[in-house]
Amino acid sequence: MDIELFVRLILMQIMIKSNHPLRLLCFYVAAADDEMVQKLEKMINIENLLVDFIVKRVMNEIYLQWK
């Protein structure tokens, strides 16, 4: 599955529920790189899925955290 699609689907479901307790996603991607992080950030910003968030990569894990 495309990582952007995966994140988009999860965040859209979270947006539906105004007080959703989830504030952090961590997922393993064998081919994770800085370009993937930039694409995720761009997609989230363009589609206004989150306002105050951080995307970071540690080795092959991508962390997405928001307030």
pTM for the model stands at 0.86
Q: Is the dihedral of CA 42, 8, 65, 18 positive or negative?
A: positive
Query: What is the structure's pLDDT at 33?
Result: 94
Name residue 1's amino acid. Answer: M
Q: Along the 67 residues of the chain, how does pLDDT read in single tens digits?
A: 589 999 999 999 988 887 789 899 999 999 999 999 999 999 999 999 999 999 999 999 999 999 8
Which residues does 16 contact at the CB level (< 8 Å), separation at least 6? none
Short-list 45, 35, 34, 37, CA closest to 11: 45
Where are the chain's structural domains?
A: 3-66
Query: What is the structure's pLDDT at 1?
Result: 56
Residue 36, Cα to own-chain centre: how many angstroms?
A: 11
